[in-house]
Chains A and B, each alone.
Chain A
Amino acid sequence: MAKRITINPITRLEGHGKIEIFLDDKGDVENAYFQVPELRGFEQFCVDRPADEMPRITTRICGVCPMAHHMAATKTLDDLFHVEPTPTARKIRELLYSIFMVEDHTLHFVYLGGPDFVVGPDAPATERNILGVIGKVGLEAAGKVIDTRKRLRAIITNIGGKIIHPVFGLPGGVSKGITEEEREEIVKVAKDTVEFAQFLLKLFDDVVLKNKTYVDLIVGDIYKHNTYYMGMVDENNHVNFYDGELRVVSPGGKEIAKFKAQDYLEHIAEHVEPWSYIKFPYLKAIGWKGFVDGEESGVYRVAPLARLNASDGMATPLAQSEYERMFDTLGGKPVHNTLAFHWARLVEALYAAERMLELAADPELTGTNIRNIPTATPDEGIGVVEAPRGTLFHHYQTDKDGILTGVNLIVATVNNSAAMCMSIKKAASGLIKGGNVSEGLLNMVEMAFRAYDPCLACATHSLPGEMPLEVNLYDSNKNLIRTIKRD
């Protein structure tokens, strides 16, 4: 009586992400697959283009985190053309990057991941969205969210040219500087943003941590994987989004590698499966052992919780104390509970806001020396940043005129692809017993991958934050026996 459950998250007609769950004769989960049915082929069609255009081409990989691609491409060009950005340019880049990080993390928490907690995993589906969040936190707080997002996005538009697909990054610098007047305005917004990030953490405290049901969910086994973790750190092993070395820690929390972006090929490899267009990166030193966790498996995770696990702390004081509080509460490092990604995301939002304020207060920000013109012959360049959804690698090879001959990209969410498959399977296995599929499954399975904030499809784009789900249950003759739909 083998059964198959298809979860087509975005409705059948969209098809950017799909889950297939197979049940055995007892009706328990035999296996589950998280498929990504999309490929656009940037790695190939960028070939023959001038490398200097990459910051404006690769932004179109993602319109939700275009800044991450813009910055990774720009840093790759620094490396490719062998040129350092001027100190002012470097600060402008990191400032805009910090603004983007806090804005993007906020969007996820309030619109996407947050409703599960703020409104509740078992609240009526119609309330488990941004409107439900507004109902719970009040209009004033909701207004703060919209207003903060708008102010942050306006700064990026002004300096970066466009908010969706910025244009200001060039090898050795940026195309436009910051005036003193603009700087003063940014300081104001930054101060409010620090307060805003603290407000979100307080909200998390009040509605999640004070509720035993939620805490049990977070620490429970259903959302737990013992994996390796990777994240970028500065010279003090503190989390950094813009620059530093990549550090990998084992499931036991031991540093097993620390390397420069330029050496990524020695550490990371990608596995291919015939049933998905997404590739599965793993740690080369450990090897691909399939969709399993533990020390023996090369599967690693990236993004907020992974970055916190892979670091020794945060570089700003308020974020540091939140970092300590998180690990104290959850029983020390590393934390393997997938739902803690949400908490880690807010700790990072606070860091990004504090970093924004630090950079905005720096008088060097308004310097006029914003570009170093490259003089060396281009050949090969590798650049990395921490995108909201994890480590993002760009790697270009060119001829002596800077025309691309080879491009390799490991996009943030892809690093987590194997872990997401595992999380789906574990959540489904924990929920489906004896062929019983409850409505609760829908949201619980969603929560397993929503924690990663995957940038695959509507999970990152949905407004008002609810992902439509439909589960079809077929009998062994492929007849539809039941449809569970959340509306």
Chain B
Amino acid sequence: METPGRVLKLDPIRSIKKAPVEEYFESGHRTCQGCLSSLPMRLMAKAAGPRTIVLGSTGCMYVANTTYMTTPWVVPWMHTQLGAAGSAAVGTAAGLKALMRKGKIKDEPINVIAFCGDGGGADMGLSAISAALTDIEYNLLIFLYDNESYANTDIQTSGQTPWGAVTTFSPPGKKHRIMQRRWKKNVPGMLAAGHPDTRYIASGTPAMPVDMMDKVRAALRAGGPTYIHVLDPCPKGWHYDPEHSVELGKLALETGIYPLYEIKDGVLEFTGITKQIATGRRRRKPVREYLEKQGRFAHFKNQDYAYFQKKVDEMWEQWIIPCVVAFSYGGPINITGSEPRVRNKNVERVNASWTGEPGHAHEQYEGVSDAPSEPWRDDNRLDEYPNALPSTGH
């Protein structure tokens, strides 16, 4: 497939020593202590380099970075409306192309990056992003930083908020302990499945900074519309001590809740810790280790952890591509020709909440005892917790 237009030559960043020293998103912004949403901004700008235009839709990273007539951005930056990351990116890329064709500006490759939060990207701006990903003649990157809530306006539920999390819209009550009853939307998987012409789609996290920068460069090199989804631990919304930001990001990978992968020209490859899990070189940690470190899950009982674990196990054992494509084979014929390595065909599809049971299936775990036995704390006794077993089966 031919690259639409020329792109900048950006070398891959394979190690921390190869990360450039120059910054294009500087100090002096009003983000929280330990904010892992401003870190991807910084790494993204660092990886993209000086020949870049950044477009920011409304969200934390717009409001906190325009601190009353000052800005930390070194590269040109423009504010766009809340759901308009995709439209602004296409408009800017098309405008640059037209100006270059008419000879009004120098004909050179310029990176166009539009970032949006999970509220602006996964909820409001999803249609615009989808439209942008079908416009294959323009070079642009949509960069979604996902802190799993509307964090700028004091933590409201978004389409990316995980099941059961406490937000100002889903406080635990006496009658209903679980108020957020929606499972997290799988946006990168959805966009990858729905836009086959997109040359690069990836998921990353700033807790793995080198991997994330490498993916930004790969996306910018690929040309055409590309998309990167980044999971950012948010100390304000997730209720934890700011110094544990990176640790929580890594735990999201190690527990298998959030996968790292990249899809280049339609070929999917897991990366980093997720690759180790997918190829059986690493065991998934119990999701409880990740959940219990966050205040937003402090109201969870054993039954809630069990339900959450079950749902994550389903993502790994029953999805056609683990954690990415959320359905299973319908019949006896294997339409793909070869089975994914990770899929375990021996797993019975009983009690799988997505197989057609009505309503929210977490009620089925009500019988789980809430006695404070915690075998998952002890690595040597991991087998006592059946749902924590690796993906090779029960």
Our verdict on whether A and B bind, yes or no, reads no
Q: Which residues of A contact B (CB under 8 A)?
A: none
A-binding residues in B (CB < 8 A) = none
